[in-house]
Homo-oligomer: A and B are copies of this chain.
């Protein structure tokens, strides 16, 4: 189908900062490299700060700016609502958008509480059933080629029965005790700290790659620096100026937990913003009866693969450069050995969502998947609050 014959889907995106820019790059480039059966039109960007939203609009080609998200949702030329705002606003916007018949892509974590997430998942299920409306939660790391390939290898039985998972998300941007108290450190805005922000990713990745859900956890959390300077006026993205006042950090700096997967595997998890020297180290190792996988996002184009069928005399972990045309998402990009980066996942996500909407299929990860991750996060919090007590988690329905 030639480009001029493809239908167009109008996208309205709410948020214009870090995630807004990453999503913009995704929407803008999805059809440049992939072939979704519908083309995106960047209809409107939403943000309370009109000037800031306009700047992002100018940079990425959004046709208009809306300062009230309700107006954006109401526009007839908006088919898809893309929610890139902090977690405390997700539920209200998403439920309204679904009710308005819009397809919804919502950044992770789906919500700040299980209750909100459950409301959203129910609304999504209703909207899908009643109005053919599609929804997806933005666990973008699933669409890093090495991660997508890791899942395929597990699904194909290449590593056999899963015995161990080691999942870590290590950052260090809060090691400095004078780093400011941005919204991500406030419980009422962010829901939780490292746990919800980055722990959510490793829970999702563990379940995505292994195909098994977390069945129970024992957890510890900690806030190493309990008071921080309040941010100044120019906060944006992950950085911010500092004012003279100080405030309480009301979220965790780090969370660690052991758990069991539904199939019996043992798993260790760690999410922290205090791993000095690690910048964005999403590390995932899976050991199975037939082989193993290892991944580190700080070298995201590589998947380490061990095949136990190769005798140890010639065996070991193979450094697979995940840039071959046979690897997921890679073929439309560049020749082998030419690396992809962080934001490519957002292009993959946009292409997949456009395809699902155009084809009338339910994309993944669904809001139900997002709710399930939220359920695990809540279990971690309950366990930590009750002295690391074992906390079982009901299997996904």
User: Which A residues are within 8 Å of any B CB, using their own CB?
Assistant: 2-4, 18, 21-22, 24-25, 28-29, 31-33, 55, 58-60, 159, 163-164, 166, 168, 170-173, 175, 216, 218-220, 222, 224, 237-239, 254, 256-260, 264, 266-268, 270, 272, 274-281, 287-292, 297-302, 305-308, 310-321, 323-324, 326-327, 333-344, 387-390
Interface contact A337-B279, CB-CB below 8 Å: yes
Interface contact B18-A335, CB-CB below 8 Å: yes
Q: Determine how close the nearest CB of chain B comes to the CB of A58; give it in whole angstroms.
A: 4
Interface contact A337-B25, CB-CB below 8 Å: no
CA of A299 to CA of B338 in the docked complex: distance in angstroms?
10
When C-beta atoms are compared, the residue in chain B nearest to A269 turns out to be B268
With A164-B270, A318-B315, A334-B343 known to touch, is A220 a contact of B258 (CB < 8 Å)? yes
Question: 5 closest pairs, A vs B, by CB?
Answer: A280-B337, A279-B337, A277-B306, A341-B341, A218-B218
Interface contact B288-A276, CB-CB below 8 Å: yes
Q: Would you mind naming 27 contact pairs between A and B with Cβ atoms under 8 Å apart?
A: A2-B58, A18-B334, A32-B59, A163-B276, A170-B287, A175-B308, A218-B220, A218-B258, A222-B264, A239-B335, A254-B266, A266-B272, A275-B292, A277-B291, A277-B306, A277-B315, A279-B336, A298-B301, A298-B339, A299-B302, A312-B336, A314-B318, A318-B318, A318-B319, A338-B343, A388-B390, A389-B389
CA of A216 to CA of B305 in the docked complex: distance in angstroms?
35
Interface contact B342-A338, CB-CB below 8 Å: yes
Identify A266's interface contact among B163, B220, B276, CB under 8 A: B220
Q: Determine how close the nearest CB of chain B comes to the CB of A348; give it in whole angstroms.
A: 13
Q: Which residues of B contact A31 (CB under 8 A)?
A: 59
Interface contact A224-B163, CB-CB below 8 Å: yes
Interface contact A280-B164, CB-CB below 8 Å: no
Given A3-B59, A163-B274, A338-B341; 18 other pairs, CB 8 A cutoff: A28-B32, A31-B59, A33-B59, A166-B168, A254-B266, A277-B287, A277-B291, A278-B337, A279-B312, A279-B336, A280-B323, A280-B337, A298-B301, A301-B341, A310-B318, A317-B318, A318-B318, A340-B341
